Amino acid sequence: MASRTDVLGVLSLPRFTASRLTKPRARAAAATRERLIVVGNGMVGQRFCEILTKLDGSTRYDVVVLGEETTPAYDRVHLTDIWKGRSPEELQLRESDWYSKHGVELRLGECVSELNTTARTVTTRSAEVLSYDRLVFATGSHVPELKLELDDGVELLRYRTLEDAQLILHKVEAAGRRRVVVVGAGLLGLEAARALQKLNCEVTVLELSSQLLPRQLDAVAAGVLEGTLRAAGLDLRTRCRLTRIVRGESGYLVHLEGEESIAAEVVVAAVGARATDAVAKAAGLTCDVRGGIRVDDKLRTSKPGVYAIGECAHHPRVPHGLVAPGYAMADVLAHNLMGRRERLSPQESVTRLKLDLTEVTVLGNPLASNAGDDWVWQAEGVYRRLVVSADRVKAAVCVGAWPELPTLQRLVTRCQRVTKKTLEHFAETGNLGLVETSLSVQSLPDAAVICNCANVSCGTLRRAILAGNSDVRSLGRATSAGTLCGSCQPHLAVLCGADPAPAPNYPRAGRALVILSAAALVAACVTLAFPRVPVATSVQLESLDVLWLDASFKQISGFVLIGLVAAGLMLSLRKRVRRFQWGHFPGWRVLHASVGLGAVFVAFVHTGFSLGYNLNFALMLAFLASAFTGAVSGAFFAKASSMQAKPAVRLVRGVRTLHDWVFWPFLVLVSFHVLKVYYF
């Protein structure tokens, strides 16, 4: 099914009611809350609503949602399911009373006709003037007007909303002979065409471009897809320009440029969407020349207190027309409105068209010029193309089913290296040879560990899914799985039946971790191998001798060393304690490595390369072993994304476990060392 963002968006937040507070307190709380108006009622806005609700937004905002449609937010991605027998209620994202239960004033059938950013007011279609403290545009997109002549009585049906889908279904069922023309061979048009064909309609698809899916596919991929759809009976016509639609004897005549005409009872327009930004543009908000309200990394527009999310927003690093980037916008804005400091990161483009006949997946931008070298494998009805640059898959196109798609998506989104052997294997067989199938994950026993970072088992994840955590993000909140390095998120997606979430990628943190680990490794080896620094034997000390012979300096360096060790131990709580979720885990790794390197340096200041004797000798060996294994573990972690083989994974786990084991003897020995110095 094609992935698309919504036309309109909803924000809903919980708020305290008088029944939950005493009247004076209720009035005081209401006086301190800001009014937040959300223009739109759709998928992205609903996502925003739910995130803000979980962040306890009722303490800060009173929310009014204005939705142009008469139905609360629904699943637009599966809109064609209306033609398969699903009811509108089944498509709703939440129950109708969800908004009132969470203290949100939802006004359906209402939209904004005018915005005054100076007075901070909006005027609705019913001429009501509402004041706001903050305003969120979540108006999505709309079907543009087609430039063609329509005779009187001709009805061109647009396909974008739930009401549109219901009207099209009604017209098709009322028609005698079910001949339908679909204008547009993009994601929406092809999805609609196939769904209408399954309603026993004779469907003709018209596309102005020279191929199907011109914004997503190369010519060869489009040809493979076209062959599959033609074999199923769809009439596909490219390079067609509509000029006029007139009434015929039993329906309409659709005239094309060049004197050709097609008879039809129903004509559906499913052409490219345009950002709904007219009100914002009239109010003076800066909009892009191609459409969309310009926003920064915090989703702020050019006017104070006004924000935009979803398809109505334009951000240079966010692809247009997809659900996932809209959800990312909603998440960032919800957190920022609650006082957090989050920025929108560059979003990867992942486009999918799922039909009963075949499926199409596009990762990244394979149509970009000079994107890289092409590796292609093709069979009947199947086309797979990888765009590779600097030993990394930058983009990919797949027509037809491919079990390795989750693995491929991880390669693209994490910029993982692929070997020439892997690419040659792909060219010969069409497979990467790196697949871990859904069956292998689903069949794992409850005791099997899925997330090694947080030590979360399959059984724990299954119980969390049964408790209502149905996506990767909610599973992470409930169990901490996938919240650290993120490499297990595709497995979480398989378990909960969601689309694989792209694992996070932090290249700068990886490079810093490699440098720090290498420096710590060298320092530990030098400390172990080099002889002790010679010190003066007379009463006249040299400049550095004071570090090792003066008691005060020895105490200072010793306690600094203990402090650094304690800091390193505290930093490891980010991994071991579920409540500690601040910041990105790779950043904590870098900080942990920095502390470790500092500890090795202070150990030199404290000992001068001397390993000591007896207890001190054991203490230094434990310290150097901990530093050595920690440095190796850090280097392995930084390169973990490129390690695919099971022996390499086992090696990483072994070194990490060894680092933990050798650290505890050091803590015991350093305690005895302090007792010996001060009490014995």
Following DSSP, what letter does each residue of 237-284 receive, concatenated?
EES--EEEEEE-SSSEEEEETTS-EEEESEEEE----EE--HHHHHTT
pLDDT band at 3 (very low <50, low <70, confident <90, very high): very low
CA distances (Å), 7 to each of 18, 344, 533, in order?
35, 21, 72
Has this prediction a pTM greater than 0.85? Answer: no
Average pLDDT over residues 65-76: 91
Greater confidence, 171 or 32? 171
Residue 73 in 3-state DSSP? coil
For residue 351, which phi and psi values (nearest 5 degrees)? -110, 130
Distance, CA of 26 to CA of 34 (rounded, Å): 14
pLDDT of residue 255: 92
CA angle 263, 267, 272 (to 5 degrees): 135
pLDDT at 122 over 90: yes
Token duo for residue 508: 């700068």
Average pLDDT over residues 595-612: 72
pLDDT of residue 19: 33
Average pLDDT over residues 646-668: 68
Residue 105 in 3-state DSSP? strand
Distance, CA of 109 to CA of 667 (rounded, Å): 67
pLDDT band at 539 (very low <50, low <70, confident <90, very high): very low
Distance, CA of 60 to CA of 651 (rounded, Å): 49
Distance, CA of 101 to CA of 84 (rounded, Å): 31
Token duo for residue 423: 């690419």
Average pLDDT over residues 480-503: 64
Contacts of 376 (CB under 8 A, 6+ apart): 220, 383, 384, 385, 386, 427
Strands (E), 87-201: 104-108, 112-116, 121-124, 129-131, 134-137, 141-142, 149-150, 156-158, 179-183
Tens digits of residue pLDDT in 463-482: 888 777 777 877 876 776 76
Instruction: With beta carbons less than 8 A apart as the criterion, state whether 65 and 38 touch.
Output: yes
Distance, CA of 159 to CA of 266 (rounded, Å): 12
CA distances (Å), 558 to each of 269, 343, 595, 671, in order?
76, 41, 15, 12
pLDDT band at 579 (very low <50, low <70, confident <90, very high): very low
Tens digits of residue pLDDT in 267-283: 999 987 899 999 999 99
pLDDT of residue 21: 37
Among 171-185, 202-216, 309-323, 630-644, the range scoring the smallest mean pLDDT is 630-644
Sheet holding 350-354, edge to edge: 350-354, 359-363, 392-399, 382-389, 373-379
The candidate with the shortest Cα–Cα distance to 362, out of 218, 241, 458, 497, is 218
Among 168-182, 332-346, 541-555, the range scoring the smallest mean pLDDT is 541-555
Among 264-273, 499-508, 592-601, the range scoring the smallest mean pLDDT is 499-508
The candidate with the shortest Cα–Cα distance to 315, out of 339, 347, 363, is 347
pLDDT at 680 over 60: no
Tens digits of residue pLDDT in 311-331: 999 998 888 888 878 888 999
The candidate with the shortest Cα–Cα distance to 632, out of 654, 663, 664, 609, is 654
pLDDT of residue 537: 46
Q: Which residue has the tokens 């097609």?
A: 262
pLDDT at 286 over 70: yes
Say how many CA atoms lie within 13 Å of 286 toward its Cβ.
Answer: 11
pLDDT of residue 166: 94
Contacts of 388 (CB under 8 A, 6+ apart): 372, 373, 374, 375, 394, 418, 423
Among positive and negative, which fits the CA dihedral 91, 97, 101, 102?
A: positive
pLDDT at 508 over 80: no
Distance, CA of 134 to CA of 44 (rounded, Å): 18
Residue 535 burial (C-beta neighbours within 10 Å; 0-12, 13-18, 19+): middle
Greater confidence, 410 or 46? 46
Tens digits of residue pLDDT in 188-227: 999 999 999 999 999 999 999 999 999 899 999 999 999 9
pLDDT at 639 over 60: no
Torsion (CA) 70, 73, 75, 79 in degrees, nearest 10? 10
Cβ atoms < 10 Å from Cβ of 606: 20
Among 87-101, 397-411, 473-487, the range scoring the smallest mean pLDDT is 473-487
The percent of residues above 70 in pLDDT, for the chain, comes to 78
Distance, CA of 228 to CA of 246 (rounded, Å): 32
pLDDT of residue 612: 67
Distance, CA of 150 to CA of 243 (rounded, Å): 9
CA angle 220, 418, 503 (to 5 degrees): 90
Token duo for residue 273: 């969407």
Task: Write down the number of H helices and E strands in the chain.
Answer: 22, 28
CA angle 307, 312, 315 (to 5 degrees): 70
Q: Which residue has the tokens 């449609």?
A: 69
Greater confidence, 235 or 676? 235
Distance, CA of 128 to CA of 145 (rounded, Å): 29
Distance, CA of 565 to CA of 18 (rounded, Å): 52
pLDDT band at 547 (very low <50, low <70, confident <90, very high): low
Tens digits of residue pLDDT in 354-373: 888 899 999 988 888 677 88
CA distances (Å), 149 to each of 107, 152, 208, 253, 270, in order?
36, 10, 17, 12, 17
Distance, CA of 551 to CA of 152 (rounded, Å): 101
pLDDT band at 20 (very low <50, low <70, confident <90, very high): very low
Instruction: With beta carbons less than 8 A apart as the criterion, state whether 609 and 530 touch.
Output: yes
Q: What is the mean pLDDT of the chain?
A: 79
Distance, CA of 270 to CA of 191 (rounded, Å): 10
Among 18-27, 408-417, 566-575, the range scoring the smallest mean pLDDT is 18-27
pLDDT of residue 49: 84
pLDDT at 297 over 90: yes
The percent of residues above 90 in pLDDT, for the chain, comes to 34
pLDDT at 6 over 50: no
Sheet holding 112-116, edge to edge: 112-116, 121-124, 129-131
pLDDT of residue 675: 77
Residue 348 in 3-state DSSP? coil
CA angle 556, 561, 564 (to 5 degrees): 125
Distance, CA of 490 to CA of 494 (rounded, Å): 6
CA distances (Å), 65 to each of 18, 44, 69, 73, 174, in order?
21, 13, 12, 11, 36
